[in-house]
Amino acid sequence: MTTESVEVGGVVNAEPSTTAATTAVNETVVLHDGGDGAMGERILDVRDFSVDYGWGENAVRAVDSVDLHLDRSKVLGIAGESGSGKSTLVYGITRLLRAPGVITGGEARFNLGPNDDGRGERVIDLVNANERELRAIRWSSISIVLQSALSALNPVIRVGTQFEQVLKSHRKDMGKVERRARATELLAMVGLSEDRLNRFPHELSGGQRQRIMIALALALDPQLVIMDEPTTALDVVTQREIISELFELRKRFGFAMIFITHDLSLLVELADEIVVMYAGVLMERASALELYEAPRHPYTLGLLNSFPPMHGERKVLSGIPGSPPDLKNLPGGCTFHPRCPYAMPRCSIETPPLVDIGGTGRSVACWLQVNDPDVAVPVELSRSYPRPVATDVVEETS
C-alpha cells in the first residue's frame, strides 16, 4: 500500500493501489469517450454490469447483469441482505474493487455535465477509464462514504491534517488559510465545531467520526456521493440525526446520492427510487413509495416485514426464513425459491427475468408477476398504487 493512500484515509480511495486522494488532479485529463447517446439529466447509467470474484472455474458471480440509472439530484437506494452484492456493485462501478473482484462485463457511463463550450456532454465510461481518468473524477466528482469511519480515517493523523491533505491535493489554488477556513466550513456543515480539527479520530465518538467522513466526502463538491451503510454501526438516535443532516445537505448542494443499506424501511424515507438485490441480481426496482405501498416481489415484502417502520403503526415483524445462498452453490431457477413462501414448482427450474410491469419504470423478477392466468397472485403482492381513494358514502335524508 502506498504511503499516500494511507495518509488521507478512506472516504473515496479504498483501493491500496490507487492514490486518488493525494494525486494532483488539476491537470487536464481527456476523458475516455463514454459512447454514443446524450445522457441529459441522467448522471449514471449502468448496463448489463457483472462482477466475479476469482477467475476461471473457481470464479463466483457476485453481481449478475445489473442495469440501473440515476438522475441528477436524485437518491437511489440499494437494498438487500449482507452478501447480496450491493457493495460489490458500487465498488465495481467506481472501480474501487479489490482483487480478486473482477468486472466481467457491462458499462457504467458517468455524466460530468456540459462541455465547457456548452455543446454536448462530458461522459466517461468508468469501466474502460484508465487510472489517470479515474483520478480526475474520484473525490471531485464521485465520492464514497464507507461503513466504518474508524478504519477509513487515518488513526495517527489529526482530523485537520486529513482535510488539509485532501484540499491541498485537489485544489492547488487554495492557500493554507483558505484550506483551514474550508475545513472549518465543512465541519460546521455537519454540526461539528472547529476544535475537532485538532483531534485524532480515536478522540471522537462514532457519530462525530462518521460526520467527518461525510464532510470529507463533500469537500470538493462532488456530483455523486455514494453512502455504503454509513450509519449501520451507530445507535438509532445518532443514525437519525446524521441522516437528517445528510438530506439537508443534499437539498442545499443538489448532489445525487446512492445509499446502500439492508434496512429497507430507512430507504423508503430517503430514496426516490429503490432497487432490491438478492444473490447478485436485481429482484425489484420501483419508486420508493411504490415499493413500500405495493411490493411485487416476495423478497421485497420479506425485507419490509423485517424492519420496524420509522413512522406509522406498529406491526408484527416476521422476517425472512433461512439465509442468503452460498454464491458458489446457487439454487437453480429463482435463487430465492428455497426461502420463498410463495414458491411454485416452476420456480426451482426456471429463472424469472426482470421484466417491466405497469409501464411506470418499475420492474420485478418473479413468476408470480407475469400475468399467468393460472397463477393467483396473493393480495399482499398485488396491491394497487397509488391506493384507491376512499369515497365517502353520503346517506340521503329525505
Q: Could you list the residues that contact ligand SF4 (CB under 6 A)?
A: 298, 334, 336-337, 340, 342-344, 347, 352, 366-368
Round to whole Å and give the CA distance between 143 and 224.
7
Long-range contacts of 303-309 (CB under 8 A, 24+ apart): 303/79, 303/80, 303/81, 303/262, 303/264, 303/276, 304/264, 304/265, 306/264, 307/263, 307/264, 307/265, 307/266, 308/265, 309/265, 309/268
How far apart CA 82 and CA 79 sit, in angstroms, is: 10
Amino acid at 367: W
Instruction: Judge whether 257 and 75 are in contact, CB under 8 Å.
Output: yes
- Compute CA distances 28 → 31, 165, 296, 307, whole Å: 9, 20, 47, 47
| Minimum distance of ligand SF4 from residue 336's CB (angstroms) | 5
* CA within 13 Å, CB half, 304: 21
Dihedral, CA of residue 250, residue 253, residue 256 and residue 257, to nearest 10: -40
Which residue's CB is nearer to ligand SF4, number 224 or number 364?
Answer: 364
* Chain center to CA of 352: 24
Give 80's Cβ-side CA count (13 Å radius): 26
Residue 315 beta carbon to ligand SF4: minimum distance, rounded to whole angstroms = 22
Task: Sort strands 121-125 and 101-114 into parallel, antiparallel or unpaired.
Answer: antiparallel
Query: With respect to ligand SF4, which residue has the nearer C-beta, 30 or 376?
Result: 376
Query: Could you please report the per-residue DSSP string of 101-160?
Result: EEEEEEEEEEEEEE-TTSSSEEEEETTT--HHHHHHHBTTTEEEE-S-HHHHS-TTS-HH
State which residue, 310 or 344, has the beta carbon closest to ligand SF4.
Answer: 344
- Rounded-to-integer distance, Cα 103 and Cα 91, Å: 10
Nearer to ligand SF4, 204 or 366 (CB): 366
Decide: 209 and 129 in contact? Cβ < 8 Å.
no
Closer of 16 and 322 to ligand SF4 (Cβ): 322
Tell me the closest approach of the beta carbon of residue 121 to ligand SF4, in angstroms.
Answer: 39
Within 8 A by CB and 6+ apart from 392, the residues are none
Residue nearer to ligand SF4 on the CB measure, 10 or 85: 85
In the complex, minimum distance from the CB of residue 283 to ligand SF4, in angstroms, rounded to a whole number: 7
Nearer to ligand SF4, 128 or 348 (CB): 348
Least CB distance to ligand SF4 at residue 148 (A): 33
* Contacting residues for 314 by C-beta, under 8 A, at least 6 apart: 308
Instruction: State the minimum distance, in angstroms, from the CB of residue 365 to ligand SF4.
Output: 7
Q: How far is the CB of 149 from ligand SF4 (least distance, A)?
A: 36
Q: Tell me whether residue 106 or residue 295 sits nearer to ligand SF4 (CB atom).
A: 295
Q: How far is the CB of 367 from ligand SF4 (least distance, A)?
A: 4
Q: Is the peptide bond before 100 cis (omega within 30 degrees of 0)?
A: yes
Q: Which is nearer to ligand SF4, 26 or 318 (CB)?
A: 318
Q: To the nearest whole angstrom, how small is the minimum distance from the Cβ of residue 236 to ligand SF4? A: 30
Q: Considering beta carbons, is residue 34 or 295 the nearer one to ligand SF4?
A: 295
Query: What's the closest the beta carbon of residue 300 comes to ligand SF4, in angstroms?
Result: 9
